[in-house]
Every structure is written in structure tokens, then in C-alpha cells.
Amino acid sequence: MKKQFLSFLRKEFYHIFRDKRTMLILLVMPIVLMILFGFAITTEVKDSRVAILDLSKDEVTAQLRERIAASRYFSITAGEDNISALEASLRGGKIDVAVVFGEQFASELRRGGRPSVQILVDGTEPNQAAIRTGYMQQVLAAHLHTLTEGRGVSPFPGITPVVRTLYNPQGKSEYNFVPAVIGLVLMLICVMMTSIAIVREKEAGTMEVLLASPLPPLCIVLAKLVPYFAISCLNLTTILVLSVTMLHIPIAGSLPGFIAVSLLYILVALFLGLFISTVVRSQLAAMLLSLLVIIPTIYLSGILFPVESMPVALQCVSVIVPTRWYVDIARRLMIQGVELRYVWRETLVLLLMAGVLLGVSWKKFKIRLE
């Protein structure tokens, strides 16, 4: 029995390795997706075009202009002479942000007052407008605080707020997206390739031949899943190396714990692919159904939008999306550095999903082939 199982296993590995297209999808696509998503998906808005109208014409406003120019989020274009020109530049799409320093800005600052700064932002894209406004406020507030602190004047009446950003003080969007992309890539590869591999045998009519062999059906299914599990482990290793070396994402928590949870998630994805293979009869249908699984994975797992901000109905639907639970675990283990006991509930959900998918798939698999 053991020799026969190993023979089936070798046959599956040979079958995968000799198919160049399959190897391209299994080994190259995860790397491409990781690099593409890691660098392309970002909530940061860089190189926003800024025009400054300085009516004060003072040393203080000149320093503020230099501070804005030094920020990696802004690039200053030529200044304007009046507010109408600024508005015309915004309407024409020549600039993204306009800053106006009033005539009494410097004198009021020297008297210990709180001079106002007018910030005009192109609100065509509300999210980007809010981000640009926040960046500009941070730059101006930081420099004004430095100036007033040197003169013994607090720019804030009553109290001086002290803000600390935990776990991601630099505000890097990669810290948010990379753990999510790991879950997305593993789900895409495992589900699609597993479902297609098993359906291919049915479509070609060779599954009955395999079932007629001395090996029990369970061993045949395991021989189909083990190669993809091994390749998924290789992909996980590659993705982690890319995350740490190229994207500079720390693994603040337990690395063995993170790997263990990731292996569990890979099993859930493989069993989901096995389930898909039991409800379809063609490779095309398996691929289409796999892609349909990826759509809720992207939108309902918290990769792009927080689950808490979704309607209640969609939050209920997201409960059955495995990636939602894995992404939560990955972010907390990689970024927050929590211990495994803080993610036991999410891990238990993945274990339950693995058991349910395996049981249902195995039952339908036997019924369909009898």
C-alpha cells in the first residue's frame, strides 16, 4: 500500500513539473502578484502638486514653504499671485492642493496667536482629498509647533496633545496590505489549481481508472492534494522572504506560530478546491467557480475595506470567507506581534472550516463517483 501510494504521488509530481504552464502559475504568479500588490496597492498619496499664495511674505512663511517642499508627499509648483489664479489652477487640474498664508500670518504668530492657514484641495476624489489635507495639516502643525515651542508659546490652547501611533508609526500602507495579499495569493493558487487538477481527471475519463487501482479513494485524493500542499509551502516561504527583504515587513510575533496558521489556511484552501471539484464536471467550470470565490475573498475579507464598516448583511456573509480570518491573524501576528493565545478564536474558525469542507467534499466525492 505504501509503495503504491508513493508511486501515485511521484506520478502527480511528474505530471505537474512537466506542464510548464502549471509551473508558471504555481511558482511565478505568486511572486509577481506579491511584488505587484506590495508596491502598487497603497493608501499613500505621493507627489501631490502644491501651489502656495504667500500674502505675508515673511521669513516664517518662507520656512514653511521649504518644509512643504521637503516632504515626500508634495512637490511645489510655481506660486500664484491671487486666489482667483489658485482656483483656476485647481479647476484646470494643474495642481492638487493650494495653501494660502494671510497678510497677518507672521505678525499674529509672533504675538502668540493662532494664525489660520487656508488649504484648498481638489475634492474630485474624496479619499485622496482627505489624505492630502491630513498630510498638509501634519506638515504645517509640526513646523509651527517647532517655531512656537522655541518662543515659549504653545500653539494649542489649554493642552498639548501627544499622539503615538502603535505598531505602524511610519504609516506605511504595506503593513496593511502585505498580510492581506499573502492570504489572497495562497487562496487563489490553492483553490484554482486543486479544483482543476481533479476535474481534469474526470473530464479525461481517467478518474475511474485510478479508482480501479488497489489504492482506496482516500489515498488517491491525498496523492492529488499533497503535491499542491508542498508547492504552496514553497510559495509561502518565497512570499515571506520577499515580504521581509524587499517590502521590509517585520514579523513581530511568533514565526513558527504564523507558519503553523498559514499551513492550516493552505489546507482550508485546498479543501475548498476539492469541494469545487465535486460540484463541477469541466475544467472551465472549475476555473470560473474558483474566480467567483476570489471576488468575495477580495471584497469581504477586509483586504480593501474594513469589515466593520460594511452593512450588517455583508458582515454576516463575510463570516464564511476563510481569508477574512486568516488576514486578521496575519496582521496581528506579523505587525502587532501578539501571542497565539490572542488569535485562538480565528484559528478555531479555520479549523472548523477545514473539517467541514473536508467532510462535505469527501461525501460528495464518493457519491459522485459511485
Amino acid at 35: I
pLDDT (0 to 100) of residue 125: 62
pLDDT (0 to 100) of residue 181: 82
pLDDT band at 160 (very low <50, low <70, confident <90, very high): very low
Alpha carbon distance 276, 82 (integer Å): 64
3-class SS shares of the chain: helix, strand, coil, % to 5 = 70, 5, 25
Of residues 65 and 7, more confidence is placed in 65
Q: Are 76 and 68 in contact (CB under 8 A)?
A: yes
pLDDT (0 to 100) of residue 367: 43
pLDDT band at 307 (very low <50, low <70, confident <90, very high): confident
Q: What pTM was estimated for this model as a whole?
A: 0.69
Contacts with 24 (C-beta within 8 Å, 6 or more apart), sequence order = none
- Residue 76's DSSP bridge partners are 50
Is residue 162 pLDDT above 70, yes or no? no
Residue range 227-232: average pLDDT? 87
Contacts with 286 (C-beta within 8 Å, 6 or more apart), sequence order = 192, 195, 196, 199, 276, 277, 280
Placement of cell 482550508 in the chain:
268
Radius of gyration of the chain (CA): 28
What cell numbers appear for 234 in the block?
A: 514553497
For 91-107, the DSSP string reads HTTS-SEEEEE-TTHHH
**Domains, the chain, ordered by start:** 2-41+172-369 (no CATH), 48-150 (3.40.1710.10)
Is residue 270 pLDDT above 80, yes or no? yes
Q: Using alpha carbons, select from 181, 147, 141 the residue that is nearest to residue 162.
A: 141
Alpha carbon distance 138, 20 (integer Å): 51
Alpha carbon distance 303, 238 (integer Å): 21
pLDDT band at 173 (very low <50, low <70, confident <90, very high): low
Measured in whole angstroms, how far is the alpha carbon of residue 126 from the centre of its chain? 21
Contacts with 71 (C-beta within 8 Å, 6 or more apart), sequence order = 135, 139
Label residue 334 left, alpha or beta by phi (over 0 means left) and psi (-120 to 50 means alpha). alpha
pLDDT band at 370 (very low <50, low <70, confident <90, very high): very low
Contacts with 200 (C-beta within 8 Å, 6 or more apart), sequence order = 283
Placement of cell 477545514 in the chain:
354
Range of 152-166, 182-196, 316-330 with top mean pLDDT: 316-330
